[in-house]
Amino acid sequence: MSIEIRPLSPENAETFAALFDELEFEHAREWKGCYCHYYNSDCPGNLWSHRTGEDNRKDSIADIRAGKMHGYLALEKGKCVGWVNADDALAYPRLKDYLAPYVGAQKIGLTICYVIEPAHRNQGLARHLLNAAIEGFRTAGYEAVIGLPVDQPMAGERRYRGTMNMYLEAGFVEHRRFDAVVVMRRNLD
């Protein structure tokens, strides 16, 4: 597997969108049209279900080109085979109130959505994306990175927030737990 990890940029916005265009999301059909826009959107929850995939694709590409959406792409021969949404923890409108108590005045990054093409799952690609995000946050002067995995049995495809084990292996520690959602944190010294 010859994979290159690159930061999301205006130049590769369409490459990002192609990952979602091609995936079927058999395990969760409602995710098909998300284009990883859910957490980046300030659309009220009751209106989200009325948005189309075309709306989300267009808005994600616009956000990428405007420098409002960040993350890392896993590319194989120029094709996007994986992605992680990685940005400042308070940059996600849907999570801002939830995360504010953990962030305070600190500069903290967050990884939230991992989307991996089926043929590349269970090969450590999400871990490579996480490591790229950690290094990106470190380079940008962040104090810490958090992740929000769900600690309960579920099909691999539904573990889009990453796994507990993946975060533990990358040096994260459990910071707080709310039901099945675990706030994992890694300080960047």
Could you give the CA distance from residue 171 to residue 148 in angstroms, rounded to a whole number? 14
Mean pLDDT score, 51-73: 95
Chain centroid offset of residue 132 CA: 12
- Please determine, for residue 173, whether its predicted confidence score (pLDDT) is greater than 70: yes
pTM of the predicted protein model: 0.93
Residue 157 is predicted with a pLDDT of 53
Mean pLDDT score, 111-121: 90
CATH superfamily membership of 4-187: Gcn5-related N-acetyltransferase (GNAT) (3.40.630.30)
Task: Look at phi and psi of residue 162 and say left if phi exceeds 0, alpha if psi is from -120 to 50, else beta.
Answer: left
Share of the chain above pLDDT 70, in %: 92
What pairing do the DSSP bridges indicate for beta strands 108-116 and 144-147? parallel
CA distance readout (Å), 122 to 99, 126, 127, 161: 29, 9, 10, 14
If we measure between CA atoms, which residue out of 33, 39, 2, 1 comes closest to residue 17?
A: 33
Alpha helices by DSSP H, 80-120: 96-103
Cross-strand partners of 5: 74
Least confident of 64-68, 71-75, 81-85, 115-119: 115-119
CA distance readout (Å), 119 to 50, 130, 158: 31, 19, 16
Backbone angles phi, psi at 132, to 5 degrees: -65, -40
Structure tokens at 149: 């995995």
Mean pLDDT of the chain: 90
